[in-house]
Structure 1
Amino acid sequence: MNGFKFMRRVGKLQDGQTATGESGVEQVSNAASDTKVFHQATGARKVRRSWILASAGLVLLATFLIGAEKKYVGANTVAYYRVMVQGQEIGNLNEEAQLDKLFEEKRQAYQAKYPGAVMVLQTEGISTESEKAYKPEIDSAATLKKLDGLLKAYAVGVQLMVDGKAVGVVKDQETANAVLQGVKNYYTPQTKASKGANLKKTAASSSAIASAKAVDKVESTKIREAVTIVPIKADPNKVLDVAEAIKAFTEGEEEPLLYTVEEGDTISGIAKRFNITQAEVFRNNPGAKELALQIGDELQLKVAQPDVTVVTVEQVTEQVVTEPEVIVRKSDLLPAGKRKVVRAGQTGLKEMQYRLTKENGLVVQEEWLGQTVVKDSLPEVVYSGTKVVGEGTGMFAWPVTGAVTSSSFGERWGRVHKGVDLVSGNRTIMAADAGTVSFAGVQSGYGNVVIINHLNGYETYYGHMSSISVSVGQRLEQGAKVGIMGSTGRSTGTHLHFEIRKNGTAINPMKYLK
């Protein structure tokens, strides 16, 4: 009660009023009450101070814990890369360099698998996105394995086109150039200089021709068709090396071919020319017969036809043994028709020069350029009895003046030619030697033809004439007019087909013509 009052008084005094005590005791009591109130106030202040300090400590502790947590989370926040394929995530990687390493390893693997091609890895549509996360689950191995299965590669190459048709793919322009040169070389023969061979300038025996034609010079080699080279992305399994590409160009694909029989053709020669068997020719042409084959007949063939035509122009030389000239001297000591050799002759040797045009190795045009005598023949001297008109001397003159040979004698380039083809500005045909006309008319293949029997085992044939000037049984001197050059029968142009036959067998006229 007193305390309450004291507090109130204190409150009043605090308001500026004067306190008057009733007794000293009461004043002492009031002093004690004041002391008690003072101590209570001081204790409250201490509690408040402790509470403030505790709160501050809690704040500091919380701040410390939050900072520690942030440091922990920061320490465990990892940067990684999301791998995207065509916009779809397929996995993640620890480092972007892992992707580059996979690309290089995969490219090298494809290059090792296809060493003949230039390989390029297809990485279009593959990208990465950088991310950060707290303790993310990253499985680089699984991602790389999955991506490895998706990676493909293609070969950088060039497509060889022939007249717009794709023939083959090679790795680059340099290889393509090597292929085209190789195709040309395939059909271009070696020259004598490249072979290091020299023709022997000696006479051979009279029973054989010295040698086959040897190439002196290749004037030109070209591919007829238009060949283009186009860069492409290719299947590496279809990229060809040089040898494979040359084979593709030169072999071609088997296709039907209608072949027209020409002069000198035989079944065996046709088969050899197209690299097929005679059995194949007969199988595709049941009615064909070797001995009944006629100029102009058509044969159904199935042959490999290359995609390109390599045209070569070559100069060639052929050595031909020349027969000796026969010098006949009349003698009244011998019966009519009797002959006696008083000096044996010796053969000579000459070189024939030709220009050949070939298509893929097959002769399509032959031009005689001239001849060079290597060794003169030694004439044979013969005594003969009384001369009989119509009997030959065994010496043969050119049947036309100023003659040029357009096709030579014998089996050459897959054909058999029983004589020589002659062209000249002077179309008059003359008897090559004295003799008797045994045939004058038309024969299959020869057209208008005259056959002269020289009554000494020799016969001469004159074919493709436009007109005939003699008749059967007529006796002719050497140089007598036989007819006019033409292009009758199976002929490709105006010329004379001239043959010399001995005892029924065709022989090379170039051995006898002087």
Structure 2
Amino acid sequence: MKGFKSKLGMGNTPEQDQSRDPQLEVQSEQQSTDQPETSSPWYTITVDSIRQGKHKMRRRLMIAAGSLVVVGGLIWAGTQYVTANTIPYYVVSVKGQAIGTILHQEELQQLFTTKRAAYQKKYPKATMVLNTNGITTTEERAYKAQVNSANTLKTLDGMLTAYAKSVDVNIDGKVIGVVKDQKVIDAALEQVKKKYTKKAVSAKASTKTSKKAYPKQVTGLESVTLKQKVSTTEIKANPNKLLSSTQLAKVMMTGVESPTTYVVREGDTISSIAADHDITQEEIFANNPKIDEMAMQIGDELMLTVPQPPITVTTFEDYSEQIVTEPAVEIRKSETMREGESKVVAQGSKGLKRIDYRVTKQNGQMLREEWLGQEVTKKSSPKVIIKGTKVVQGEGSGNFMWPVSGASVTSPYGQRWGKTHKGIDLVGSSSVMAADDGVVSYAGTMTGYGNVIIINHNNGYETLYGHLSQIDTSTGAIVEKGQHIGVMGNTGHSTGTHLHFEVHTGGVIQNPLGYLP
């Protein structure tokens, strides 16, 4: 047994001795002291087994640790590989609907730049804006992602639209067109103004070189104004709808509505047509300058309205007209000659006087003509007539007076609405007086004139007084120069209270201003 123990003891390595449990060593020494030496196979085998188990456990732990290191290395290497092959990309969506993928956002911006330039080249006169609203990108990452930028950009290219940055033209609440910007509107307005003022300017220039003695000419263009206010609103528009300044000017001057026409029927008159359509007879004559009411036939077409320009250009022009003044008549009485007998001893000579007007026009059409005054530029010499003084009642002297006190001419003699205005219209005192001695040849109503008085002056002259509200004489009455004969009014074809005054000689209409002092 000693030899066995010694062999066991000799067989242990220092490391194995160090691993012995001290408690177990103390017990062994006590047993060897207190008891006789005896061999213990069970004890020896158990200790050795424990030692061998510990060695195996260490080996297993070492193997497991090594395995973990290897697995960790493999996992790390795999992770690095996946990371290296995971790429970022972008999903492109239009109004929330994905249409494809791209690698870089710069590709999208380049498409926008190219497309915008293409639209601008196609519409060089417009300011084009690319419509990119609703186009979004979302960043994604994936292992070996399959990204097809070309197809995505091609699809998006076909979906891109553009609009023209523009403004609408609003006049009195009504849009008449769409233009690029305010500069186009300003240019159009200048063209409109030029349209209605160039005639006046040309006429003014012609007066400096004209050799004509007595034309009515423009002497000045006082001012030009626009009646309506033009406003704008920024909008997105189709570039094909944009108007140029010339096109906009045409719309401003002609409007967009079609004229209203009327086909004449049996029994129609100008007055009945005017009443049925709530317009004036003057408007019908103005729209149809060649119409002759007496020759109007069934089936004739009348233009009742014309397209109304949305822009109203008001011009104030100064006119002057030189007219020939008839020589004053100087009557020398002779008691040796019978009343009614006369003898011209001096023919006299005609003179000249300049009459000044201010004309208000809207879109080139005369709205109002004001008589500003007159100036004699060449004096006439009187015509001297010797007349008998034997009593002959109702014969005029040939020298006329103004039939209205404080008279002012509101409409002169000449062309108006395509027709000749046969006399002059006067306002002033309401009392109407005989312009010279004579006999009332007619006192009553007459078509167009309303209440009218005609005086035969029994010397080749007749005078007419129209639109009276009251007639204060009668047919056959002998009247004297300056005698009250009626009251100014608005009867007949009249547009306001005034006196219409005419002078006739030998049955021929004359300009009354040539006979009034």
Q: Which string of whole-angstrom CA distances, capped at 9 and with x for unpartnered residues, describes residues 224-264 of structure 1?
A: 4x5442222223222222222222232121254643114xx
Aligned to 1:412: 416
Equivalence map 1:106-117=2 (5 Å)? 106-117=115-126
Aligned to 1:128: 137
Per-residue deviation, 1:385? 4.5
| Conservation of the 8 A alpha-carbon contact between 1:203 and 1:347 | no
Q: Indicate the RMSD between aligned Cα atoms, in angstroms.
A: 4.2
| Conservation of the 8 A alpha-carbon contact between 1:215 and 1:314 | no
Aligned to 1:400: 404
Q: Which string of whole-angstrom CA distances, capped at 9 and with x for unpartnered residues, describes residues 67-121 of structure 1?
A: 5x87776665544333221222212223322211211222222223333332221
| Conservation of the 8 A alpha-carbon contact between 2:90 and 2:101 | yes
- 1:149 paired with 2:153, answer no
- 1:376 paired with 2:371, answer no
Q: Which string of whole-angstrom CA distances, capped at 9 and with x for unpartnered residues, describes residues 390-413 of structure 1?
A: 444444321122101111111135
Aligned to 2:113: 104
Aligned to 1:91: 100
Q: Which string of whole-angstrom CA distances, capped at 9 and with x for unpartnered residues, describes residues 140-190 of structure 1?
A: 332222111111112222223333322222223444455456555554566
Q: Which string of whole-angstrom CA distances, capped at 9 and with x for unpartnered residues, describes residues 303-338 of structure 1?
A: 21233444x251422213122323344486989545
| Conservation of the 8 A alpha-carbon contact between 1:464 and 1:488 | yes
Per-residue deviation, 1:348? 0.9
Measure the CA separation in 1 of the matches of 2:128 and 2:4. Answer: 104
Change (3 A) 1:73 1:162: same
Q: Which string of whole-angstrom CA distances, capped at 9 and with x for unpartnered residues, describes residues 437-463 of structure 1?
A: 221222122222111223444321111
Query: Which structure is higher in RCO with an 8 Å CA cutoff and minimum separation 6?
Result: 1
- 1:353 paired with 2:351, answer no
Aligned to 1:508: 511
Per-residue deviation, 1:499? 0.7
Change (3 A) 1:377 1:92: same
Change (3 A) 1:138 1:334: farther
| Conservation of the 8 A alpha-carbon contact between 2:92 and 2:99 | yes
Q: What amino acid sits opposite 2:499 in the alignment?
A: L
Percent identical among aligned pairs is: 41
Q: 1:463 aligned to 462, 466, 485, which one?
A: 466
Aligned to 2:258: 254
Measure the CA separation in 1 of the matches of 2:206 and 2:121. Answer: 45
Q: What amino acid sits opposite 1:144 in the alignment?
A: L
Aligned to 2:427: 423
Measure the CA separation in 2 of the matches of 1:85 and 1:105. Answer: 19
Measure the CA separation in 2 of the matches of 1:183 and 1:201. Answer: 28
- TM-score when normalising by structure 1: 0.72
Equivalence map 1:133-212=2 (5 Å)? 133-180=142-189, 182-183=191-192, 186-188=195-197, 192=201, 196-198=205-207, 204=213, 210-212=214-216
- 1:472 paired with 2:480, answer no
Change (3 A) 1:435 1:201: farther
- TM-score when normalising by structure 2: 0.72
Give the length in aligned residue pairs. Answer: 442
Measure the CA separation in 1 of the matches of 2:373 and 2:316. Answer: 15
Structure 1: which 5+ runs fail to align? 1-9, 19-51, 205-209, 273-277, 282-287, 294-298
| Conservation of the 8 A alpha-carbon contact between 2:86 and 2:142 | yes
Q: What amino acid sits opposite 2:444 in the alignment?
A: G
Partner SS, residue 388 of structure 2: coil
| Conservation of the 8 A alpha-carbon contact between 1:216 and 1:315 | yes
- 1:15 paired with 2:8, answer yes
